[in-house]
Amino acid sequence: MPLSVQTRREKQKAKLRSELVDAAHKLVQEEGYEGLTIRKLAKRVGYAPMSVYSYFADKQDILFALAEDAFQTLAKRIKDHPADDPIEALKVIMAEYAAFGLGNPNEYRTVFMTERVKPPEGKTFAEMQEGNPLMKVLIERVEACVAAGRLKGDPRAIATMLWAVGHGTISLLITFPFYPFGDQQAFVTRMCDFALAALATQDVPPLSEAPVNCCP
Amino acid sequence: MPLSVQTRREKQKAKLRSELVDAAHKLVQEEGYEGLTIRKLAKRVGYAPMSVYSYFADKQDILFALAEDAFQTLAKRIKDHPADDPIEALKVIMAEYAAFGLGNPNEYRTVFMTERVKPPEGKTFAEMQEGNPLMKVLIERVEACVAAGRLKGDPRAIATMLWAVGHGTISLLITFPFYPFGDQQAFVTRMCDFALAALATQDVPPLSEAPVNCCP
DNA sequence: AGCAGGAATCGTACATGTACGATGATTTTT
DNA sequence: AAAAATCATCGTACATGTACGATTCCTGCT
């Protein structure tokens, strides 16, 4: 029965990994984001520092695991947040997304502001978009708007454009907390409304099908 | 004559500082961005590693100095790039800005994607905006559009919104080079045209005058 | 049971950013 | 000119991320 053994090992590994993630989470809560170091983390779970690298490629990998946990709850909160009007539903996403980013800047940074050099492991165009649970919900709700005749055009393109606007807004607010954007909430709402109003007036063509860009 | 002595010292310091910046620049060109280390840099100019800290607060400060040099040339290139139509002039800015960001992702990152915690040293609302030479040009050209009746509303607010859209677009392209945005150029143009077309149809109120936000 | 091969764990070592404080030079004050 | 204060420079030391290779342990086969 090699398979069950295999899975047993896998289980064990997964358990230790989640133990590490838990410890990392606590460490961050107790000592702040920069208090998370490999050595402290290893000591916390009773392993040697180098053993951590059996479970994570590098430190970024740990931060990313933490951040993804946080984003999971965000995705859930969004899904649990209903709205009758489909456009309002989009606004809910944008608002929750913004609130999360401004409330968890570290997590937002690691997920959306540090380079992802993961090559597309056989992922297709659409898979890469819907792989992200947030993007998945966004596309779905955009589709609802299109179906309701409130928006017109390619849902994926519309979703991507909304993402760009939302991300630009939030990342600027995070990076330049002292820049006079005025009230953060007001700025977020303004940008969100601006983008949605503009999209409502035009027919959005799909994104070009050019091969994936690669920085040389 | 304490003043002249003072200035002599200042001159000396400035000279050494620019020497350090030059050396850093060469190091980056020769060995890439991650090849720039304090020790190598110090050795290059014949100083002890710790002496570098008399001229820069930390490593980020060095990277920032490098990046600002690069942005200086961008600002100049934009100013030298004329356009008859005021809206076209705005598009030129957006295009050059995007080209720069995509062509110099490291510099773009350090300037626009790493937290700036500099408190506003007595700077006023407007000074903080026009302090950035890029934002200055942008506001000027937006003002030209408003004067020509091609846009309507508060120039600073419009400029900030354009910045948010442009930044969102570029930073996403930089951070997720493998995400299927399609052709990068096409995506940039699309977002730029989208924002400008949308702004042309509405009267943009000024940003709220709320006190500078501060993350607690 | 014994053994070979792979996997998990870890000890050591290195490069790095940078804090701290010493030391010598330079400027200012007396 | 002598003393005091300021400042540039640097030696040392520490915490950190992580590469490399040894070592221990487990697994499946004979």
Taking CA atoms, what residue in A is nearest to B206? Answer: A182
pLDDT digits 0-9 by tens, B61-95: 999 999 999 999 999 999 999 899 999 999 999 99
Q: What is the pLDDT of residue B127?
A: 74
Closest CA to B150 of B142, B159, B140: B142
Which pair of structure tokens corresponds to residue B38?
Answer: 């304090």
Best mutation target, B107, B179, B215, to test chain A (most A CBs within 10 A):
B179
- 10 Å CB burial of residue B137 (0-12, 13-18, 19+) is middle
Beta strands in chain B (DSSP E): 152-153, 203-204
Tally of residues, chain B? 216
For residue B216, what pLDDT is reported? 41
Using 50 as the pLDDT threshold, list the residues of chain A that sit under it: 1-5, 213-216
The set of strand D positions with any atom below 7 Å of a protein CB reads: 7-12, 15-21, 27-29
Q: CB–CB of A200/A151 below 8 Å?
A: yes
Of residues B120, B125, B177, nearest to A214 (C-beta): B177
| Chain A touched by B1 (CB under 8 Å) | no
Residue A168 with chain B: CB contacts under 8 Å: 163-169, 171
Please tell me whether any atom of strand D lies within 7 Å of the Cβ of A2: yes
Helices A86-103 and A105-112, packing angle to 10 deg: 110
B80: closest CA of chain A, how far (Å): 27
The nucleotide whose C1' lies nearest the CA of A5 is: D27
3-state secondary structure of B204: strand
List of chain B residues whose C-beta atoms are within 8 Å of the C-beta of residue A125:
180
Half-sphere exposure of A128 (CA within 13 A, CB side): 18
pLDDT at B213 over 70: no
Q: What letters, b where the CB count within 10 A reaches 16 and e where it falls short, cover A110-121?
A: bbbbeeeeeeee
Amino acid A209: pLDDT: 73
Interface of A with B in 86-105 (CB under 8 A): 102, 105
Q: What is the model's pLDDT at position B49? A: 98
Q: What is chain B's mean pLDDT, rounded?
A: 90
Q: Give the chain B residue nearest A106 (alpha carbons).
A: B115
Q: Using the CA of B53, give the nucleotide whose C1' is nearest.
A: C18
Give the pLDDT band of residue B107 (cuts 50, 70, 90). Answer: very high
Inter-chain residue contact B202 with A197, CB threshold 8 Å = yes
Kindly report the number of other CB atoms within 10 A of residue A143's CB atom. Answer: 16
pLDDT at A5: 46
| Chain A residues 160-189 within an 8 A CB cutoff of chain B | 160-161, 163-169, 171-184, 186-187
Q: What is the pLDDT of residue A3?
A: 41
Check CB contact under 8 Å for A128 and B201: no
Task: From chain A, pick out residues whose CB is under 8 angstroms from the CB of B120.
Answer: 178
| Contact (CB, 8 A) for A87 and A196 | yes
B3-41 tens-digit pLDDT: 454 566 678 888 999 999 999 999 999 999 999 999 999
B198 touches chain A (CB under 8 A): yes
Q: Residue A210's pLDDT is what?
A: 60
Cβ neighbours for A167, distance < 8 A, ≥ 6 positions apart: A112, B168, B171, B172
pTM of the model: 0.92
Of A14 and B126, the structure prediction assigns the larger pLDDT to A14
Helix (H/G/I), strand (E/B), else coil: A48: coil
For residue B1, the model assigns a pLDDT of 36
- What whole-number distance in Å separates Cα of residue A2 and Cα of residue A204? 53
A60 in contact with chain B, both atoms CB, cutoff 8 A: no
